[in-house]
Amino acid sequence: MTERIPSSRVLVVDDREENLAALRAVLEPLHVPVVEARSGEDALRELLAAEFALILLDVDMPNLNGFETADLVKRHPRTSHIPIIFLTAFDEPLARAAEGYRFGAVDYIAKPCDPFILRAKVRVFLDLHDQGVLLARQAEQLERHVEQLRVSRTALADAQRIANLGSWEYEPSTGRVRGSRQFHEIFGLADDTPLPVATELFARVWLDGGRSRGDALLHTASRANFEGELRRPDGSVRHVVIHVEPRADALTMIGTIQDVTDQREARRALDAVLGALERERELVQLFQSAVAAPALPHAPEAQVSYCYRPAESAVVGGDWYDVLELPGGEILLAIGDVAGHGLAAASAMAEIRTAFRVLSMRESRPAQIVEELNRYVTRARPDVFATMLLLRFDPRTGTCTMSNAGHLPPLELGGAEVTLHTYELDPPLGTALSRSNREVTFTLEPDHTLVLYTDGLVERRGEALDEGLRRLTERVASMRPDDAELADRFVGACAGDDLRDDVAVLSLHHRGARPVMSLTLPADIREVAPLRTTVRRWLHAFGGADDDVEDTVLALCEVVANACIHAYAPGVDGTIRVDGVIEGDDVRLTVADDGKWRPEGGRVGGHGLRMAAAATRELSIDREDGGTTVVISACFKTTRRDESVPSRP
């Protein structure tokens, strides 16, 4: 053996120096570390200090003799395995040798010993020792490997169990299948029952949606994957994925089978949930977009702005607002907040808004509309709880009539300081609490602005509402009431805050009567009637006389209706802009479209422009490629002299 194990030391014990020197000389060619001890006690000390492969022990020593020393060595668990060779005088009787063996000696050598024999014996013991050590190491490694194998087998079994994956092996020559524990499990067979032959077993699997039997896969010539339905003995059906792979020797096939029923169901459930969420998100956006851009009122005295900002969480809330112009010229402003988020809140919000629109067509008293909405919500959406503020504004007088169902107070800008209209509230919609249906009336002075908002603007987590309102009034105190984008400013002022809730802001600025008006309306004949109301009121506000105002309004409406019909092809969305300026007793109205003039097809008539010209002092038409502009000049204050009309060709 060329390489010695580090512990291959030899302990030489002899009380005589000349003997030790002789043994040293004998062992020297073995190139092995030799430790010398001069007594039994010395020897025991050395043995406890280090590992030894062999002890050469002199029998005759003072005090502790060789046998006694050997006895102690053999008794100590740490040293009992070390082989001992006794060295004794040549003339020792044989009986002593026997005694030596009794004390655990492995050999017995008489002195003076033959160096060759001693060396040979020592070498044998050293080799034995080294081999033992190596074996022990190998055994240890083997044990570790076995443990690793056991662990990985367990892990494999666990993995197979967790993945619901079974492995199998098939011998075409015998038709036999061997399968893992999980393989049995998937097939619904007890672990210890012998498996049926492969063709029978795999015939329980149906591939291609039931069109072919699974035993076909046993004839696969190359790696392949199959999906199918496995019918188990108990009648249950599992969805399985089978992998097949012929071995290189072509004598066996190996494969796996995985039960993916649960995954597929989980996936389907997940898809259903994700699909529902996506649809909900789309619907909510649809609802929200319908609410986000109401029509702005015609009335030149009223300047309305609005802003909606969704919550940062991207969960849509139930905030809404709406603006309606009543036939009499008043403006209804509504703002509300449906409790909760998501589809339920958004759909309830859309429902309430629609109900509000329908109710406002036959009822103009805010308290009455709110009361009916409450009745509607209580009956139709008992799951819903919503606050709402409804305000009717009369642009002629600035009178505001308000009904407030649990909503935050409107804020007024324009006075010496910011005012909150904190009147007594009615309970929110959808609550069983008794209602007073009170209506409060106040005047919004010209140049003042009323701002309606939802709680997302002021409410912050862990803070009293009063605190939020106080902060809001501080923040907006320096804003200009006539800012055309006041609602955006309000939302912008809170942009730094963590907006967990959505925010809606609606502002109404009372401009007072102005001798200038400007409107943009869709090219739709249904817009003509509200336009008439607006212009009629505007002219009356500046002292118009009934008949003259009616003639002017007639002329304007004829021109606008003409533009609706002639400027845009059916189905084309166009807009018409109407500008008006009052100077003294005269009004100049300009109607501009950006469509192409189309001769009216198939209709006899065309009284419109002729009437318009007859009803006004001057009417000019400017047709260009980019659109048509008609300018009407009329006196709207003189009382008509007679019924006569200028004659025309």
Partner 1 sequence: MTRDQTFDGTRPAAPAARIDESTVGGAAVVAVDGELDVGNIDVLRRPLVVAAQASDTVVMDLSAVTYLDSSSISLLVAESAGLRARRAELRIVAPAGGRARRVFALSGVERGLALFETVDAALAARREGLDLW
Binding residues for partner 1, per CB under 8 A?
292-296, 305, 307-309, 324-327, 357, 360-361, 485, 488, 491, 520-522, 524-530, 532-533, 547, 550-551, 553-554, 557-558, 561, 564-565, 575, 603-608, 610-611, 614-615, 643-645, 648
At its nearest, how many Å lie between partner 1 and the CB of residue 639? 12
Please, which residue, 48 or 361, has the CB nearer to partner 1?
361
Min dist. Cβ of residue 565 to partner 1 (A): 8
Residue placing its CB nearer to partner 1 in the complex, 379 or 607: 607
Task: Tell me how far, at minimum, the Cβ of 383 lies from partner 1, in Å.
Answer: 27
Cα–Cα dist 242/382, whole Å? 53
User: 565 vs 635, which CB is nearer to partner 1?
Assistant: 565
Closer CB to partner 1, residue 327 or residue 415? 327
Please give the order of strands across the beta sheet that includes 419-420: 302-309, 503-510, 449-453, 411-413, 419-420
**Nearer residue to partner 1 within complex by CB, 337 or 548:** 548
Q: Which residues 6+ apart lie within 8 Å of 449 measured at CB?
A: 412, 413, 414, 481, 482, 486, 507, 508, 509, 510
Euclidean distance between CA atoms 560 and 565, whole angstroms: 9
Helices (H) and strands (E) in the chain, counts: 15, 27
- Contact in structure between 317 and 345 (CB atoms under 8 Å): yes
Closest CA to 228 of 212, 248, 252, 249: 212
As measured in angstroms, the least distance from the Cβ of 349 to partner 1 is 16
CB of 495 to partner 1, least distance (A): 12
Q: Which residues contact 288 (CB under 8 A, 6 or more apart)?
A: 308, 310, 316, 346
Comparing CB distances to partner 1, the nearer of 278 and 485 is 485
Q: Which is nearer to partner 1, 211 or 603 (CB)?
A: 603
Nearest distance, CB of residue 485 and partner 1, angstroms: 7
* DSSP element (H, E) containing 11: strand 10-13
Give the C-alpha separation, 447 to 151, whole Å. Answer: 84
* Residue 352 near residue 422, CB atoms below 8 Å: no
Please give the Cα distance from 408 to 428 (Å, whole number).
Answer: 11
Strands 516-522 and 575-583: antiparallel
In the complex, minimum distance from the CB of residue 268 to partner 1, in angstroms, rounded to a whole number: 40
Q: Taking the complex as a whole, how short is the minimal distance between the CB of residue 329 and partner 1, in angstroms?
A: 9
Residue with smaller CB distance to partner 1, 524 or 622: 524
Instruction: Find the shortest distance in angstroms from Cβ 416 to partner 1.
Output: 30
Give the number of residues written for the chain.
Answer: 649
Smallest separation, CB 526 to partner 1 (Å): 5
Distances (CA, A) of 508 to 22, 296, 309, 334: 121, 11, 18, 11
Closest CA to 228 of 254, 259, 265, 197: 259
- By beta-carbon proximity to partner 1, the closer residue of 176 and 365 is 365
**Shortest distance, CB of residue 339 to partner 1, whole angstroms?**
24
**84-89 and 105-111 beta bridge pairing:** parallel
Interatomic CA distance for residues 377 and 383, integer angstroms: 9
Nearer to partner 1, 348 or 561 (CB): 561
CB of 158 to partner 1, least distance (A): 56
Q: Which is nearer to partner 1, 180 or 616 (CB)?
A: 616
Helices 261-292, 342-360: axis angle to 10 degrees equals 30
Closest CA to 573 of 595, 558, 592, 557: 595
Beta-bridge partner residues of 334: 322, 390
Nearer to partner 1 among residue 283 and residue 292 (C-beta): 292
284 and 277 Cβ atoms separated by less than 8 Å: no
